[in-house]
Amino acid sequence: MSRLRRALIVPVVLGSLLGLAACSGQSDDAATPAGGLTLEQITEAGVLRVGTEGTYRPFSFHEDGSGDLTGYDVEVITAVAEKLGVTAEFDETQWDALFAALDAGRIDVIANQVSINDEREAKYTLSTPYSVSPGVLVVADGTDDISGFDDIEGKTLAQSLTSNWYTLAESYGATVEGVEGWAQAAELLSQGRVDATINDKLTVLDDQKNSGDRGLRIVAESDEPSRSALAFPGGSEELVAAVDDALAELRADGVLAELGEKYFGEDVSE
C-alpha cells in the first residue's frame, strides 16, 4: 500500500488493514518449511556459513592448537562449497551449541560428524553420508569388568548429551555424565572419574596416534556404523539436492577417498 493511500484511510480502517497485513506476513513466513534454505539464497550471498567445533580431531581442528582450521569435515565442506560456486565461512562453537545456531539461522549448515538418526532426519534436511564409522566402547587400562556393551549397565559413561553415543549408552542402561566432547570424556576416563565412554572409532584412533598414551583402550565396536551427514535447516531439500550432487562428484573424482587417506589412511566415505 502506498504512503498516499495510507494517509487517506481513517484510523479504524488503517488498524484493520494493518492487522490483515500482519496476518498475511505470518502466512508468508509459514510457507517456508522450518526456515529452509534455497540454493539461490546461498549463491546470491556468495558464502556458505558453516558451524563446526574446531576442537574435534581429525574432523575439525586447528593444527598445533593455534594454526589454521583444518580437518576431514572442514575440507569436505570447503570442497562442496566450491562445487556450489560459493565460499565456506566457518563459525566455531561447542558441539551442543551447533544445532541451536542452526535453528536460530546464525549458520547455514553443520559440518561436524553429525550422525544420522530418526530425530535429526525429522527436524533437519540431511545430506547423503560422507563418512561411515562404527562406534567404539573405550575404558581405562586395568578395567576388567567392562568388555562389551552389555557390561555398561549401571556404569557411568561420559557422553555429549546430544550425540548418538549418548542414546546408545542409555539403551544399555548406563548412567550418563554430560561432557562437551571427546577431549573432556577422555580426560574424565583417564582420571578414573567415569567408567567408560563411547565415541566414533576414527576419533579414538586419531587420539591414540596424536595425543600420546592416555591409558585408554577400545574393548568393543557397535554393530551398526555411524553415518555422518551435513545438516541443513528443515525444508532445504532443493539446496541439499545440489549438495548431494556435489558430494557425488567429489566421490566420483576420488576427492573423498583422497581426504580419507590423508586423515585416516583409508577411504571412509563408503
5 within a domain of the structure (yes/no): no
Q: Is 83's pLDDT higher than 90?
A: yes
Which tens digit of pLDDT belongs to each residue from 225-268?
A: 889 999 999 999 999 999 999 999 999 999 999 999 999 888 99
| Residues 191 and 105 grouped into a single domain | no
Strand ranges for 65-184 from DSSP E: 69-70, 87-92, 109-115, 124-126, 131-140, 156-159, 175-178
State residue 35's pLDDT score: 64
183 within a domain of the structure (yes/no): yes
State residue 191's pLDDT score: 96
Alpha helices in 85-220 (DSSP H): 95-103, 118-123, 164-171, 182-190, 201-210
| Residues 165 and 237 grouped into a single domain | no
210 within a domain of the structure (yes/no): yes
| Residues 64 and 102 grouped into a single domain | yes
| Residues 182 and 210 grouped into a single domain | yes
Q: Which residue has the higher pLDDT, 16 or 187?
A: 187
CATH number of the domain residue 94 falls in: 3.40.190.10
| Residues 102 and 152 grouped into a single domain | no
Please, are residues 159 and 180 in contact by the beta-carbon 8 Å criterion?
no
Q: Is 158's pLDDT higher than 50?
A: yes
**Which structural domain, as residue segments, surrounds residue 45?**
34-132+227-264
Which tens digit of pLDDT belongs to each residue from 30-62?
A: 333 456 999 999 999 999 999 999 998 899 999
Task: Tell me how far apart the alpha carbons of residues 57 and 90 are, in angstroms, rounded to a whole number.
Answer: 16
Whether the predicted model's global pTM rises above the 0.85 cut: no
256 within a domain of the structure (yes/no): yes
28 within a domain of the structure (yes/no): no
55-73 average pLDDT score: 92
Task: Tell me how far apart the alpha carbons of residues 179 and 162 are, in angstroms, rounded to a whole number.
Answer: 10
Q: Which residues contact 205 (CB under 8 A, 6 or more apart)?
A: 264
Q: Which residue has the higher pLDDT, 153 or 162?
A: 153
| Residues 107 and 164 grouped into a single domain | no
* Number of domains comprising the chain: 2
87-106 average pLDDT score: 95
